[in-house]
Amino acid sequence: MSKYDIIIIGSGPGGYVTGIRASQLGFKVAIVEKESLGGICLNWGCIPTKALLKSAQVYDYLKHVDDYGLKAEAIDKDFNAVIKRSRGVAEGMSKGVQFLMKKNKIDILKGFGKIKTGKKVDVTAEDGTVTEYSASNIIIATGARSRELPNLPQDGKKVIGYRQAMSLPKQPKKMIVVGSGAIGVEFAHFYNSMGTEVTIVEFMPNVVPVEDADISKAFANSLKKSGIKVMTNSSVESVDTSGSGVVATVKTKKGEETLEADIVLSAVGIKSNIENIGLEDVGIVVDRDKILVNDFYQTNIPGYYAIGDVVPGQALAHVASAEGITCVEKLAGLHTEAIDYGNVPGCTYASPEIASVGLTEAKAKEAGYDIKVGKFPFSASGKATAAGTKEGFVKVIFDAKYGEWLGCHMIGAGVTDMIAEAVLGRKLETTGHEVLKTIHPHPTMSEAVMEAVADAYDEVIHL
């Protein structure tokens, strides 16, 4: 029986990053993985979806090439080639993780991992062979999968989750997307750009409901402008897949409505992968589909840890990575701070992009802050105007008393790359005046951050 310092179950952005950092700190590490290295994020999530969205962006540019004083003829798309490119990108990233595992001398234990008492892990290979391993510490990083609603069971063909949506053999003519979170609207944008007729059904009053109200309103207008039908305050009550397509019964405020489509994409959230991995056998406490941990990811049983989508907190790749690093640095005896979950950026990669961190305006008011709010539209940005990407704005929220940066919300081209300024600023406890007096390069999209701050303090120049 092989003995390790740390065994990690799952090789997603939580697991493999944790393994690398642990190896750097001198631990002998093994990672258990039943599928491809990189987990859902690299193979069926974050990375391949961005490849699809890039193809959609290029196609949109080509369709509007006249706007840039250029000419192009016979513009078309090859749906299968777009899917193939996305899969190729994912495979390349997975191979990159393989290289990193070898570089950092991390053993890969191929199979399904199940924890046991006594800090042991059984790994079941594809042929059914079971091998037992032991470690001083075991870290659970098994991630999550598409959540299924009782009235919307997924058959993988007509009612699908995000995984099938990335590799459909044929482009659907009509698609219903249930849920308008990041996954839902990203796929809605991609398929709409490719020419599919898309309808979004959202239970909440607003699309992208976790975002600031101004962002949600602007994004809803953008969806409708692009030809996507949006149904809020609505829910899919049932689906009939007996025919050639899907007939969905949708409950709205005005009554029931029937929608017909080729495919329904269920994007109503995720379900933690915590079944059959031995939690009950070991006695690890679970609450509402999440493994309970302390600030440094130890479960109630010493020597067993959990990170990523299986623990409370934002189910995001960068959060899982940060949690894993925090966990093993604490194990190594380093001075480690607990993660501030109030300063985690969220990004949606549709068009326009959405990025946010901190409190929304409504949440800041609910918390009792006296606030200063500033907004700057990209229509007033020289860089955005030159690039032809004038849609969107930056919105900032500050505590009027002390100048604390409470929140930052962006919608527009490239904002997922811009949000890091706000995250870093908040981490360093930057005040509004410090941001305002920090010289931003011209012409850039990032100037909009400075200008939004200036607007909050009645010093805006270009508006």
Mean pLDDT by 10 residues, the chain (463 residues): 90 95 97 88 84 94 92 91 94 91 96 96 95 97 92 92 92 97 96 97 96 97 96 95 94 94 95 96 96 98 97 95 98 96 97 97 97 97 95 97 97 97 97 95 96 96 87
Q: Report residue 201: phi and psi, to 5°.
A: -110, 120
In the annotated binding site, the residues are 50, 113, 179-186, 202, 269, 309
Annotated binding-site residues for NAD(+) read 179-186, 202, 269
Return the pLDDT at 1: 56
Domain ranges (residues) in the chain: 3-145+271-341, 159-268, 352-456
Instruction: Give the pLDDT confidence score for residue 352 in this predicted structure.
Output: 96
Helices 182-194 and 46-63, axial angle in degrees (round to 10): 40
Kindly report the length of the chain.
463
Active-site annotation, residues: 442
The reported pLDDT for the residue numbered 39 is 81
Q: Where is the binding site for FAD, in residues?
A: 50, 113, 309
Residue 199: the pLDDT is: 97
Chain Cα centroid distance, residue 112: 25
Q: Global pTM?
A: 0.94
At 44 the pLDDT is: 79
Domains 3-145+271-341 and 159-268 belong to one CATH topology: yes
Architecture of domain 3-145+271-341: 3-Layer(bba) Sandwich (3.50)
Instruction: Tell which CATH architecture fits domain 352-456.
Output: 2-Layer Sandwich (3.30)
Compute how many other C-beta atoms are within 10 angstroms of the C-beta atom of residue 405.
27
Instruction: Give the per-residue pLDDT at 43.
Output: 82
pLDDT at residue number 390? 95
pLDDT the model gives residue 46: 85
Domain range 159-268, CATH class: alpha beta
